[in-house]
Amino acid sequence: MATASKPSRGITAEERKVIFASSLGTVFEWYDFYLYGALAGIIAKQFFAGTDPNTAFIFALLAFAAGFIVRPFGALVFGRLGDMIGRKYTFLVTIVIMGSSTFIVGLLPNYNSIGIAAPIILIALRILQGLALGGEYGGAATYVAEHAPQGKRGAFTSWIQTTATMGLFMSLLVILGTRSAVGEEAFADWGWRIPFLLSVFLLGISVWIRMSMSESPAFMKMKSEGKTSKAPLSESFARWKNLKIVILALIGLTAGQAVVWYAGQFYSLFFLTQTLKVDLSTANLLIAAALLLATPFFVIFGTLSDRIGRKPIIMAGCLIAALTYFPIFSALTHYANPALEKALKESPVVVTADPATCQFQFNPTGTKKFTSSCDIAKAKLAAASVAYTNVDAAPGTVATIKIGDTVLTSYDAAGLSKEDATAKDKAFAKELGDAIKAHGYPTKADPDQINYGMTLLLLFILVIYVTMVYGPIAAMLVEMFPTRIRYTSMSLPYHIGNGWFGGLLPTTSFALVAYKGDIYYGLWYPIIIALITFVIGMLFIKETKDNDIYAND
């Protein structure tokens, strides 16, 4: 693309409105999207009550993952519309779909009321949310960037980058506030619906604001010249000139950005609650505080990218994150649950099993069963945050767990009836729970032993990494593609990166932990992806801050 000659200037009242309206609407969309994830445990009981608790939670997570998996398809559908009919009306449609779907979840009868129809409708609504979000981000980022003056696109679009974090922050606060207002029992019964129902008011505000906005100047200029694309999908992905840039944008930018984003905000919350056994409310407050403190850095790094470039900041974020994840998460254990850290050192655990019966427990669809004695033993230990080493046994040997001088024998669930499997599972879980507790493994983090200041500082650092990789990336993606196919071309790599590489991070990392027996082993997933992005990005991605986004070549 040619270098633009338009001079940098101050921000106008109309541009402030564009940033505010686009960002506000996108905050609400992310709020809607993350409500489900934050309430997955309650939703499992409400809508998947026809199965055992473990299976119910798996299917609840599957429905959550469905929203991530379909995001690239939403990018294709709405990206095509955005490049053909305009930015404004396309992402007006996406917010209506998102808000309506979220509101209906709040009204949806549960499994006990309408049976199997409840989870089917829930998953369908979740898919609609994912499709809508797949079209929203590219539209908002493109719309704001095409209104921005030359030399300030990083600063302008960085406000869009705050929206995912602010949406998550808002969802956590509304959930905490509702839970406190109605009480835990009422919240689990019916109060969980309130955050979903509130979305109808957010939807009304967002639609009203967006209806008053004008189309982007870049799109209007292109339309007046008769240069809009009649086939944005084929232009974006069937022509090697553009497809090459799409692939580089995915591998050399968004994949690494996504894993750093999800590691810093989602996996850190998962690690605090599931691994370190910190109380959910405490963990949510700590994450919310870290998000609040770090959010201004999205704008700081976005603005800085207008001066020194997008690439150096994004690449530095990927590299620094990859190099420091292990010490940071180890320090989180030290400050958030020192009793667990002590037990891991003083009471090592050994799993002895036939290696042929030990599977890599990656199960994003929730349909595969892990029934061998080895898989059951490892899954239980991983869920209890107990690290272990592996010792190979002779073929056919039933897996055992040795904790100090205590030896427990696992069981094979294959061929057992549902009732027998449930009874075996409960008995083994109790036996294992008693054994690990006797050897100093805490069932939950002691609030009096948590160093809240240091824990918050570590979480803040993790979110700072997020702001480095995420703050400048919207501007960079917009600048990589010509106007006629921009919405389509930038949306797909963004949503494959964030929907698949990022969205599957918790599932993949948990499977790695269960496979290896090291509570930190799951960090290898974001580390490797971030390093791949760093290498590819440094070698093949060109700086874009001076590109002319009005170009159509």
Residue 106's domain is classified under what CATH number?
1.20.1250.20
Asked, for residue 546, whether it belongs to a domain, the answer is no
How far apart CA 531 and CA 519 sit, in angstroms, is: 21
Q: Locate tokens 């930018």: which residue?
A: 253
Tokens in use for 166? 């602010």
Q: Locate tokens 């993949």: which residue?
A: 508
Asked, for residue 9, whether it belongs to a domain, the answer is no
Residues 403 and 459 in one domain: no
Residues 178 and 314 in one domain: yes
Beta-ladder partners of 181: none
Tokens in use for 180? 């406190």
Backbone angles phi, psi at 420, to 5 degrees: -65, -40
Q: Which of 403, 438, 473 is the last residue of a domain?
A: 438
Cβ atoms of residues 399 and 405 within 8 Å = no
Residues 123 and 228 in one domain: yes
Residues ≥6 apart with Cβ < 8 Å to 112 = 49
Q: Which of 185, 353, 346, 322 is nearest to 256 (CA)?
A: 322
pLDDT value, residue 8: 46
Tokens in use for 401? 């767990």
CA 298 to centroid of chain Cα atoms: 17
Q: Could you list the pLDDT tens digit for every one of the 553 residues in the chain?
A: 444 334 344 566 666 777 777 777 677 767 876 787 678 778 878 887 766 565 666 666 667 777 778 888 888 888 777 777 766 778 788 888 888 888 998 999 988 898 888 888 988 888 888 888 877 777 777 778 877 888 888 988 888 888 877 887 888 888 889 988 998 889 989 999 999 998 888 888 878 877 777 666 656 666 666 666 666 677 767 788 888 988 999 999 999 999 999 899 888 988 998 889 898 889 988 988 998 899 999 999 999 999 999 999 999 999 999 999 999 999 999 999 999 999 888 888 999 998 888 887 766 555 567 889 998 888 888 777 788 888 999 998 999 999 888 899 999 888 888 788 888 888 998 999 899 888 888 888 999 999 999 999 999 999 999 999 999 998 999 899 887 788 788 888 888 888 888 878 877 887 788 788 888 999 999 999 999 999 999 999 999 998 877 655 5
Asked, for residue 3, whether it belongs to a domain, the answer is no
pLDDT value, residue 58: 61
Asked, for residue 403, whether it belongs to a domain, the answer is yes
Residues 391 and 524 in one domain: no
Identify the helix (H) or strand (E) that includes residue 409: strand 406-409
Report the number of distinct structural domains present in the chain.
2
Cβ atoms of residues 19 and 156 within 8 Å = yes
Cβ atoms of residues 271 and 503 within 8 Å = no
Residues 95 and 188 in one domain: yes
Residues 412 and 332 in one domain: no
Q: Which of 493, 447, 490, 68 is nearest to 286 (CA)?
A: 447
Residues 297 and 197 in one domain: yes
Cβ atoms of residues 388 and 432 within 8 Å = no
Asked, for residue 261, whether it belongs to a domain, the answer is yes
pLDDT value, residue 366: 54
How far apart CA 270 and CA 251 sit, in angstroms, is: 25
Q: Which of 386, 412, 438 is the last residue of a domain?
A: 438
CATH of the domain at 432: 3.40.30
pLDDT value, residue 312: 97
Tokens in use for 462? 């993790």
Asked, for residue 499, whether it belongs to a domain, the answer is yes
pLDDT value, residue 203: 83
Question: How crowded is residue 234: how many other Cβ atoms within 10 Å of its Cβ?
Answer: 13
Residue numbers of the domain that contains 358 = 342-438
pLDDT value, residue 3: 43
Asked, for residue 551, whether it belongs to a domain, the answer is no
Q: Which of 418, 438, 458 is the last residue of a domain?
A: 438
Cβ atoms of residues 552 and 482 within 8 Å = yes
Residues ≥6 apart with Cβ < 8 Å to 528 = none
Residues 475 and 348 in one domain: no
Residues 389 and 519 in one domain: no
Asked, for residue 267, whether it belongs to a domain, the answer is yes
Question: How crowded is residue 205: how many other Cβ atoms within 10 Å of its Cβ?
Answer: 13
Question: How crowded is residue 257: how many other Cβ atoms within 10 Å of its Cβ?
Answer: 29
- The length of the chain is 553
pLDDT value, residue 4: 39
pLDDT value, residue 6: 43
Residues 398 and 485 in one domain: no
How far apart CA 477 and CA 491 sit, in angstroms, is: 9
How far apart CA 100 and CA 182 sit, in angstroms, is: 25
Residues 329 and 365 in one domain: no
Residues 28 and 67 in one domain: yes
pLDDT value, residue 2: 41
| Residue 505 CA neighbour count, 13 Å, CB half | 32
